Chain A
Amino acid sequence: MKAQAPSAYPAWLLPSGFEDTLPARAEILETCRRGLLDLYAGWGYRQVIPPLVEHLESLLTGSAADLDLQTWKLVDQASGRLVGLRSDMTPQMARIDAQISADDETRRLCYAGTVLRARPDHLGGSRAPFQVGAELFGVAGPEADLEVLSLMVESLLHCRVGDLLLDLGHVGIAHALADAAGFHQDLRAELLRLLERKAWPDIRLWLDSKGCGTELMDDFATLLRAHGGLEVLERTQGQLGHHGAVRAALEQLLFIWTQLQQRYPQLQLQCDLAEVHGHQYHTGLLFSAYGPQQGAALASGGRYDGIGLAFGGSRPATGFSLDLKPILPPARAPGGVRTIWAPGGQGANLWQTITALRQQGQRVIQDFSAELAPADPSLVEEGYGSVLEKSGGKWHVRPLTSADITIEEDAE
C-alpha cells in the first residue's frame, strides 16, 4: 500500500464558521426548538419546512436582492440552473405565503432550521446559524407588528435571556427624508449604507455633494440624533412631523411603545430612528433585541410589505427571526432524568424490565461488559443515578444515594 501524502489540512478540520453541536448543547438546542415551536403553535403560527436549496431567482427575488453576497451558490446538475442554499428563511416564507394564500387571507407561519451564510453576519460569526422565526402575512396595521414583536420577546424569555433591551425604529422615516430630497434607487442605497454606519461626517459631505438644501440637511441631522427614550419620539414628532410619512411612522412607533410597556413593564425600550442596519428588505417598523452580553442583536425583525410580489402576491408582511445557538440557556442542573445502570447478559426478565423502565421515561444504559454492578462510587463518577440489580429473584432499581425502589410487578 502506498503511503498517503500528508495533507495540508487534518481530516477533522471543519470549514471556518462551522461547528459541531455536541450532546450537551444539542439537547438544550432541541428542547428550546421544540419549546419555541410549541409557543408559536399556541399563538396560531403553523410550522412550515422549506427546502434547503432553491433556484437563485426565488431566493434573491425583489427586495431580498441584498442577500446575494450572503448566499452560497451551486449548479443543479439535473437542470443546469443556478441554485442557492438558503441564507435566510424569511423570503422563503414570503414565497410560500404568496403561493398558498388568497389576497385578503391572514396567515401565520413559523419555521426552525439551519441557514447557510457565505459570509458570517459579523466578524467571527457563525456561517450556519440555526434560524427560528415567525411571520404574519395579510395584516397591514401596527397590531400585527405588535403581535410578532411580543412573540419575539416571548421567544427570548422562553430561552431565559434576561435584562432585555428592545430597540425600535422605522425605515419609513429615512425613506421619507430621502423622498423629500429626491434620492431614489442607487442614491438611496448609498445613503442607507452611510446611515448604517451613523457616519454623520460622511453623510453631511455626501448630502452636500448631492446639492441637498440646508433645511433637509438639518432634518437628516435630527434623524441621526433621534436615539433614546419616549421623549425622543415626542421631540421628533415636533421636529420632523411636517413630513407626512414621518408623522405616520412616529404614530405607529408611539402605539407600539405604549402597548409594549403595558405588556412587558420589565422590558427596557429604546428607539433609534436612524437605524437601518441589518434590515435589507424591510419597509416599515423595525425592531431588535439586545441581551446583556453579546456584541450584536439577539433577535430582530420588522415589516416587509410587498416582498411576495415577484411570486404573484404583494401582501402585507411582518415577522422576526433569531439565531438560536448564541442564546441557548446554560444546561439545567442535573437532577431531571438520571441514567440507570443495567447489567449485560441475558438474565431472566432483564430485557422486559429494561423495556418497562424505558417506557416509563427512564434512561437505561446496559453495560455489556459486566453482569454485576461496579462499585457505587465509580458509577456515580460516570454520571449514573441508580443501578438495576437482582435481589430475591426480582429486579430492583437501587438509587446510588438513597433507598431502593422496587419495580412494580405489572411493569413487566
Chain B
Amino acid sequence: MNHGITIALSKGRILEEALPLFAGAGIVPLEDPDQSRKLIIASSHPGLRFLIIRASDVPTYVTWGAADLGIAGKDVLMEQEGLDLYEPLDLKIGVCRMAVAEAADLAAHDAPQRWERVRIATKYPNITRRHFQARGVQTEIIKLYGSMELAPLVGLADRIVDLVSSGRTLRENGLVEVEQIAPISSRLVVNRAAMKRKLRPIETLIEALEAQVHP
C-alpha cells in the first residue's frame, strides 16, 4: 500500500496563503507552483506531494481518494452537495463571507425581512437555494460563472449572492451588501479512508498545521 500523502491545492489566493502554513510546518514544494506547469509537485518532505488543481475540483479529488487531503474554501464545500469528507481544521485563510448584495438605490428603501420573491444571479445556486428556503423566500436563480456584479446593473437579476472580501468590487459597481449568509474560510479536508489508513502521518500533519494557525 502507498504510505505517501497527496495534498490537493488550488492556484491563486488559497495557494498563496497556504504555502506559508506548510513552510511553517517544514514542508516546502520543490518547485514554485505558480511558475511550474507541473500538476504534481514533490515537496521537501519525502512521501508528501502536492496536486495543483482547480479550486472547485479539490473536494472531488479528495472524496474519491485521488488525493488524501486538500484545502478547499468553505464556499466550495457548501456548494457541492453529497460530499463525503472530514473537515477537521479551519485554516483561517481565504477569509471572506458569502453575502446577498443589491444596487445601492434599491437598498435605500429595501427591507430584507419583507422579501417574498427574489431573482438572484450567482455562481452558488445550491447555497442560494438553501439560504432562501430556510428564510421562506421564493427564489429564481440565474446561474452565472463570473462577474455577478454586472447582473443587477443590466436588469438580469435584482440581487446577487457572492463572496465578499473587502467589498470594493461591490462598491465600485454601485452595489451594497444587505445580508450575510455565512462566514467563509479555507478548510483542510481529508478523505475518509485515508484518515483511517494513514492516521499517524495525517494526524501529525494536522497538528503541525494547527500549530501554524493557532500559534
- Could you tell me the dominant secondary structure of chain B's interface residues? mixed
CA distance A224 to B64 in the complex (A): 23
Could you list 15 further interchain pairs (A-B, Cβ under 8 angstroms) beyond the known A165-B196, A198-B190? A122-B63, A123-B83, A163-B1, A197-B85, A197-B86, A197-B87, A201-B87, A224-B88, A228-B199, A272-B196, A290-B193, A292-B1, A294-B65, A295-B194, A296-B65
CA distance A295 to B199 in the complex (A): 14
Interface hits, B88-125 → A, CB 8 Å: 88-90
- Residues in A whose Cβ lies below 8 Å from that of B191: 295
The answer to whether A199 touches B88, judged by C-beta atoms less than 8 angstroms apart, is yes
CA distance A248 to B168 in the complex (A): 57
Q: Considering only CB atoms, which chain A residue lies closest to B91 in the complex?
A: A201
- Closest chain-B Cβ to A216's Cβ sits at a distance in Å of 20
The answer to whether B193 touches A296, judged by C-beta atoms less than 8 angstroms apart, is yes
Q: Considering only CB atoms, which chain B residue lies closest to A122 in the complex?
A: B84
Q: Considering only CB atoms, which chain A residue lies closest to B194 in the complex?
A: A295
- Residues in B whose Cβ lies below 8 Å from that of A165: 196-197
The answer to whether A296 touches B192, judged by C-beta atoms less than 8 angstroms apart, is yes
- Residues in B whose Cβ lies below 8 Å from that of A167: 196
Q: Which 9 A-B pairs have the closest CB atoms?
A: A295-B65, A201-B90, A292-B1, A199-B87, A198-B86, A123-B63, A197-B87, A122-B84, A295-B193
- Residues in B whose Cβ lies below 8 Å from that of A201: 87, 89-90, 187
Task: Let me know if B155 is at the binding interface, CB within 8 A.
Answer: no
**Chain B interface residue count, Cβ-Cβ cutoff 8 angstroms:** 25
Q: Considering only CB atoms, which chain B residue lies closest to A123 in the complex?
A: B63
The answer to whether B60 touches A123, judged by C-beta atoms less than 8 angstroms apart, is yes
The answer to whether B88 touches A198, judged by C-beta atoms less than 8 angstroms apart, is yes
Task: Let me know if A336 is at the binding interface, CB within 8 A.
Answer: no
Q: Considering only CB atoms, which chain B residue lies closest to A120 in the complex?
A: B82
9 contacts across the A-B interface (CB closer than 8 A):
A197-B85, A198-B195, A199-B88, A200-B88, A200-B89, A201-B87, A201-B187, A272-B196, A277-B84
Q: A198, A224, A272: which has the most chain B beta carbons within 10 Å?
A: A198
Q: Which of A200, A227, A293, A295 contacts B192 (CB under 8 A)?
A: A295
Which residue numbers of B lie inside 8 Å of A, CB to CB? 1, 60, 63-65, 82-90, 187, 190-197, 199, 203
CA distance A272 to B190 in the complex (A): 15
CA distance A227 to B63 in the complex (A): 20
The answer to whether B82 touches A123, judged by C-beta atoms less than 8 angstroms apart, is yes
Which residue numbers of A lie inside 8 Å of B, CB to CB? 119, 122-124, 163, 165, 167, 197-202, 224, 227-228, 270, 272, 277, 288, 290, 292-297
CA distance A193 to B34 in the complex (A): 37
CA distance A270 to B87 in the complex (A): 20
Q: B60, B83, B89, B193: which has the most chain A beta carbons within 10 Å?
A: B193
- Closest chain-B Cβ to A393's Cβ sits at a distance in Å of 61
- Residues in A whose Cβ lies below 8 Å from that of B85: 197
Q: Which of B88, B90, B193 contacts A297 (CB under 8 A)?
A: B193
The answer to whether B196 touches A290, judged by C-beta atoms less than 8 angstroms apart, is yes
- Residues in A whose Cβ lies below 8 Å from that of B195: 198
Q: Which of B84, B87, B203 contacts A202 (CB under 8 A)?
A: B87
CA distance A274 to B103 in the complex (A): 46
- Closest chain-A Cβ to B92's Cβ sits at a distance in Å of 9
CA distance A325 to B95 in the complex (A): 43
- Residues in A whose Cβ lies below 8 Å from that of B88: 198-200, 224
CA distance A104 to B83 in the complex (A): 42
- Residues in A whose Cβ lies below 8 Å from that of B60: 123
- Closest chain-B Cβ to A259's Cβ sits at a distance in Å of 21
- Residues in A whose Cβ lies below 8 Å from that of B199: 227-228, 270
- Residues in B whose Cβ lies below 8 Å from that of A122: 63, 84
- Residues in B whose Cβ lies below 8 Å from that of A270: 196, 199
CA distance A119 to B65 in the complex (A): 19
Q: Considering only CB atoms, which chain B residue lies closest to A229 in the complex?
A: B199
Q: Considering only CB atoms, which chain B residue lies closest to A296 in the complex?
A: B193
- Residues in B whose Cβ lies below 8 Å from that of A224: 88
Given contacts A123-B84, A200-B89, contact A295 B1 (CB under 8 A): no
CA distance A224 to B190 in the complex (A): 14
- Residues in A whose Cβ lies below 8 Å from that of B190: 198
The answer to whether B193 touches A119, judged by C-beta atoms less than 8 angstroms apart, is no
- Closest chain-A Cβ to B143's Cβ sits at a distance in Å of 21
CA distance A332 to B1 in the complex (A): 22
- Closest chain-A Cβ to B48's Cβ sits at a distance in Å of 19
CA distance A277 to B87 in the complex (A): 13
- Closest chain-B Cβ to A300's Cβ sits at a distance in Å of 11
CA distance A156 to B70 in the complex (A): 30
The answer to whether A294 touches B193, judged by C-beta atoms less than 8 angstroms apart, is yes
The answer to whether B90 touches A295, judged by C-beta atoms less than 8 angstroms apart, is no
CA distance A277 to B90 in the complex (A): 20
CA distance A277 to B193 in the complex (A): 12
Q: A124, A272, A295: which has the most chain B beta carbons within 10 Å?
A: A295
- Residues in A whose Cβ lies below 8 Å from that of B87: 197-199, 201-202
- Residues in A whose Cβ lies below 8 Å from that of B84: 122-123, 277, 296
- Residues in B whose Cβ lies below 8 Å from that of A277: 84, 192
- Closest chain-A Cβ to B38's Cβ sits at a distance in Å of 24
- Closest chain-A Cβ to B86's Cβ sits at a distance in Å of 4
The answer to whether B197 touches A290, judged by C-beta atoms less than 8 angstroms apart, is yes
- Residues in B whose Cβ lies below 8 Å from that of A290: 193, 196-197
Q: Considering only CB atoms, which chain B residue lies closest to A227 in the complex?
A: B199
CA distance A165 to B195 in the complex (A): 12
Q: Considering only CB atoms, which chain A residue lies closest to B88 in the complex?
A: A198
- Residues in A whose Cβ lies below 8 Å from that of B89: 200-201
CA distance A202 to B197 in the complex (A): 25
CA distance A337 to B64 in the complex (A): 38
The answer to whether B64 touches A124, judged by C-beta atoms less than 8 angstroms apart, is yes
- Residues in A whose Cβ lies below 8 Å from that of B65: 294-296
